[in-house]
Amino acid sequence: MPDYGLEATDVEVLPGGGDHPVKVTLRREGGDTAVVRAKYVVGCDGARSAVRKSLGIELHGDARNHAWGVMDVLAVTDFPDIRLKSVIQGPSGGNILIIPREGGYLVRFYVDLGDLEPGDREARKRFTRESIVEAAQKVLHPYTLEVKDTAWWSVYEVGQRIADRFDDVPDAERGTRTPRVFIAGDACHTHSAKAGQGMNVSMQDGFNLGWKLAAVLEGRSPESLLDTYAGERRAIAQELIDFDLRFSTMMAARPKDPEHPEAGGVDAAEKQRIFTEAGRFTAGFATEYAPGTLTGSGEHQSAAAGFPVGQRFYSAPVVRVADAKEIGLGHVARADGRWRIYAFAGAGDPHSAESGIARFCRFLAESPESPVRRFTPDGADPDAVFDVRAVFQQGHRDLAVEKLPGFLKPRKGRFGLVDYEKMFAPDLKAGRDIFDERGIDRERGAIVVVRPDQYVAQVLPLDAHAELAGFFSGILLPAPQPARV
């Protein structure tokens, strides 16, 4: 069970500290302290992160001295679009961003509170819930707003700051030692709190680091995998910071008067455009990882043009062959640390032993170079490390389950039960052919490799067996083999 009421006050990486080189000083609510030793530490302790400060890591950027109020409220109003995402520009200045919340009644308001005096550190504290409501009512006029209850409210200053590194290893020492302490979320990047973009990017930090830590701790990957966290996530955070500067400036800008364009300001169409662009960060589709250890070069992108290498796996509807169930292909994946390999069958009879999909399955099942054979521990389920699924071009009624490759019907668990949920067909009844929608090479077929955090790692032709094996050679460690007797 986790301990609550503990605050990290100091973190130190001890040279020669053995398997648990990180010394963490914790303070309890009553003031008592405790010291623990850890293999790794992740600081998710916010913008004033003690973990970050202990490592001597600085946040760089600007606090723009502009205040926004945010409140989740139950309200009664005659504003007709209260259940739609809305950006409202007040006729006499000020702006509101409305985000309907779950449940049908709760609404979040982001309210422009204006500029702050740069030297006045107490200015933000002088705002009250009532002053935020009053500012919102002013912008909404002549519509009325009556706040019945407030679930939560806060005031923040717009600012864009980013840490110079995301772990304890300075750039000059990168590659010479394993990172042991990491920071994520607001501890390493801060920005305006609109539309959930910061929350979603922060959760992606955690997902990116979480599966890598698990792979190292379980002995499936070398410690060098942990170096990729800082390299991947800092670049993404910088993109968010750059976008947020434009986004915040746009949201705070006064509306353009069509009758006096010379007065400046921003028109509604431009504000709508940048608000729509912000949704890419909220949905996770703004992330694109550069080529590296975990991401291919995209040399064979044409084999599956609709699954861009480095970007989030883009789901599409399919039909599960075994039970004719319509399902999103991306929805079958779980957050369980496994790699996904989606094999899209090429032209020809999928039931033939010489089809491309049959040869691919034999390679995975039998070849000494197969990543499934090399990296799956002895005695584990066949899909314990790689979740391999196949998508055929034929409709599900034209596929005979018993004639498809046995590798796609793995026996699992203590009873050796057959998993029939690895094979899919296009959703032809709904007129949705994944091969067309995602630009799959129908002649050669394709392999789409997806990382545990749901980003496309590699796209290859279906017959690129050796390239698939080579891709994983630097990412995973060979599974221990049983001793010979």
3-state DSSP of 178-235: CCCEEECHHHCEECCCCCCHHHHHHHHHHHHHHHHHHHHHCCCCCHHHHHHHHHHHHH
Is the pLDDT at 109 greater than 60? The verdict is yes
Backbone angles phi, psi at 29, to 5 degrees: -60, -35
* pLDDT confidence of residue 194: 61
| pLDDT mean over 456-464 | 98
Q: Is the pLDDT of residue 483 over 70?
A: no
Greater model confidence, 275 or 218 = 218
Determine the 3-state secondary structure of 168 from DSSP: coil
Distance, CA of 226 to CA of 215 (rounded, Å):
10
pLDDT of residue 279: 73
CA distance 324 to 475: 36
Round the average pLDDT of the chain to a whole number and report it: 90
DSSP 8-state assignment for residue 307: S
pLDDT at position 266: 74
d(CA 218, CA 211): 10
**Is the alpha carbon torsion for 191, 195, 197, 200 positive or negative?**
positive
Q: For residue 34, give the 3-state DSSP assignment.
A: strand
**Which residue carries 């496994």 as its tokens?**
338
Cβ atoms of 12 and 23 within 8 Å: the answer is: yes
Q: What is the pLDDT of residue 62?
A: 74
Between 244 and 429, whose confidence is greater? Answer: 429
Q: β-strands 339-344, 386-391: how paired?
A: parallel
Q: Is the pLDDT of residue 246 over 90?
A: no
The Cα diameter of the chain in Å comes to 90
Name the percent of the chain in helix, strand, coil, to the closest 5.
30, 30, 40
Distance, in Å, from the CA atom of 401 to the CA atom of 409, rounded to the nearest integer, reads 9
Q: Over 70: is that where the pLDDT of 252 sits?
A: no
Q: What is the pLDDT of residue 275?
A: 73
- Burial of 103-135, coded b for 16+ CB within 10 Å and e otherwise, reads eeebbbbbbbbeebeeeeeebbeebebeebbeb
Nearest to 337 by CA among 241, 422, 453, 219: 453
Give the whole-number percent of the chain exceeding pLDDT 90: 69
Q: Examine the pLDDT at 36 and tell me if it is beyond 90.
A: yes
At 275-288, the pLDDT tens digits run 777 777 667 677 89
Nearest to 43 by CA among 186, 238, 177, 169: 186
Residue 309, SS3?
A: coil
pTM: 0.88
Amino acid at 391: V
SS3 label, residue 301: helix
DSSP letter at 369? T
Band (315; pLDDT cuts 50, 70, 90)? very high
Confidence label for 485 from pLDDT (cuts 50, 70 and 90): very low
pLDDT at position 379 is: 93
Is residue 126's pLDDT more than 70? yes
